[in-house]
Chains A and B, each alone.
Chain A
C-alpha cells in the first residue's frame, strides 16, 4: 500500500495533515484528515471567574474571536439567569453582523473565490487574492479592503477593541450606541449591501456563467448527502445570533428542532484513534462511520446547511438570492413543501455570499431601528449562577459554549463545540471523495492536490485557535511512500 501525505512543512495558523493511502492498484484506499488538538483549555478556565469568559474565549481563535465573544456572552446570560434588554440584543446583533460581513468577504475573495476566478488548475503562486485582483481588477481588491476596514471600524468602536472585543457582558453590552455612531453604521451597512450584491454578481458571472465550473459544482466528487444543521428564528429563517437548532434530513424534511441547551440530548461525539479531534454526530441516528445518507448521523453546519434548514431569509434581497439558488439547483420540493437540500459542497461558496447579503441587510435594519440608540443596554445581574449554555452561528458552523460554576461564579467545568468541529466528519468524507475521484492508478499531481484542498476549503475550516507562529501560512507537501514507508517521491505546492 502506498501512502501520500499532504503535510505541513512549517507551522501555520491551524495546521492539518492529510494522509492518503493507496491500494495495490494505485487507487485511494483511505484518506485521513488529521487535526492537531490544542490542549488544556478547560483546565485553563476552571477556577477563574465566569465573567472573564467573553475575553478568554476570544483567544481560542484568531479568526473568529467575535463569535466566541458572543457565544460566551449568551452562555453568561443563561448562567446568571439574566435576560438582556431588547436593545442589548439588537446592539450585540449589529456588532455580530459587521463581523459576518468581514469574515465571509475574506473567505470568498482570499480563499474560496480564487478556485473559480482563477480556475482550479491555476498555479499555486497565483491562486490567491493577488491573482484575483490581477484577473478581475484592482477595484475589486480595493472594495475587499474597504469592506474589511469599515466593518473592523464598527467592531472596534462597538467592541471596545479591534481584535479581541471586550464589550459583551452578562445581561447585555457595556456601552450604548450614540446617534452619531448610528448614522455612521447606517452608512457602512448601506455600502455592505451594495458590496454583497456586487459579490453575488461576480459569482453569477464567473461561476454560474461558466459551464465547466457549474459541472464541477454539480459533480459527484463534491457531493455528499448528509443531514444539515443551523439556527433558525421563530419563522424558521436563518439567524446568526439567536434561535433554535434545526436539523433537516438528507431529503429535506425536519428531523428535529431543539433549544441549544438540549444539545447533549441530540449530539454525541465519536472518537477515532488517528486524531485527537472528536467527530460530533446526531445521537438519534447514530455513528455509522464516514458515510453519507439518512442512516448516518453525520451532519454539516455551514452556510449551505444553514440555508438548507431554513424556510427562507429574513431580509428581502437575501430572500431573492436564496430562491434563485434553490431554483438553479432544481431539486424540487419535499412532500411538506420545503426546498430539497443542496448537497453540492462547492455550492457552500454561493450560500456564503447569500449570507453576506443577509448580514448586510440585517445590519442596515438594526442601524435604522429607532430603538438602537436606547441607552438601556444592560440588565442588572441579581441571581446566583450555576450552569449556562450559549449558542450562535459562527461563520463556519454552530458554536456552543457551556459553563458550570459554583455559587460564587467560579468556573468548575467548561465545554465548547466549535463551528469547525461539527464539520470534521463531513470534511474527512469530502477529502476522501475528492481524492478518490482525482487520484487514479497512482497518478498524482499538484493539480490533484488543489482539487483535494478545494474539498475542505468550501467548509471554511479553522483549526487556527489563535496560534500565529510565523510564517503564517502552510505550504503543503505530498510524500509518496512505498509499503515500507520509505519516501519514493516528493511533490510540493511550493514548486510554483
Chain B
C-alpha cells in the first residue's frame, strides 16, 4: 500500500496556500517511518494525474470556493463528488483538462492510478491577493484538516497488512 499526500495551491496567494500549509503540518506530525509521501505542488489537470501514478491511495488538500460557502469549513470529497460539483467533463480551464477528465484518461490508458482519492476541500475567502498569510478563519481550519488527514492515514495504515511499511 503506497500513500501520497498532496497539498495543492499557491503558497504566496493568501488562502490559496491552505493546502500547502496543511501538507506541511501533516508532514511535521507524521512519524518518520510512516512510509507516507507528502508533497506540496501547484498543479492541476493532467499534471496532477501524472503525479498520482503508482500510488494506491492519494489524499489531495486544496482550497475551495463554493457559492455561499463558509470560510474555514472543509469537506472530504471523492472524485465522483468532484464530478457532481461540476457535472461536466468539459474543461474550460485555459490550459488543461479537468482532474476528473485527466484521471479517466489515465485509467483508459492503463496507467496505475490510485483506487482511492480523497479530496479535502477547504472553503477559502481570499485567493486574489499576494500574501503568505491565510485569512483568520482559514488559518483556524489548518489544524482541523490536519487532524482529519492524519486520521484517514491512520485508518489506512490499520487496514494495511503491514502497518507503516508502505513506501512505494
Contact = CB atoms under 8 A, between A and B. Distances in A.
B35 interface: no
A475 interface: yes
B: interface residue count bin: 35 or more
B146 interface: no
A44 B111 CA distance: 40
A128 B94 contact: no
B137 interface: no
Interface of A: 8-14, 16, 36-41, 43-44, 56, 59, 62-63, 65, 106-107, 110-111, 124-130, 133, 138, 141-142, 145, 148-149, 152, 162-164, 453, 457, 460-476, 493-494, 496
Contacts of A106: 46, 95-96
Given A460-B94, A460-B95, 14 more contacts: A10-B65, A11-B65, A11-B127, A14-B93, A106-B96, A124-B88, A130-B101, A141-B109, A467-B9, A467-B10, A468-B9, A469-B62, A473-B92, A493-B88
A16 B98 CA distance: 16
B29 to A, nearest CB: 24
Contacts of A471: 64, 82, 85-86, 98-99
Given A40-B131, A62-B44, A467-B13, A129 B105 contact: yes
B91 interface: yes
Contact of A475 (B44, B63, B86, B96): B86
B89 interface: yes
B89 A126 contact: yes
A14 B99 CA distance: 15
Contacts of B92: 8, 12, 453, 473-476, 493
A129 B13 contact: no
30 contacts: A10-B85, A43-B130, A59-B13, A63-B95, A106-B95, A111-B91, A125-B88, A125-B89, A127-B90, A128-B91, A128-B97, A130-B89, A130-B104, A138-B108, A141-B109, A145-B46, A163-B42, A457-B94, A460-B94, A464-B94, A467-B9, A467-B13, A469-B9, A469-B16, A469-B65, A470-B64, A470-B121, A473-B92, A475-B86, A475-B88
A133 B101 CA distance: 12
B129 interface: yes
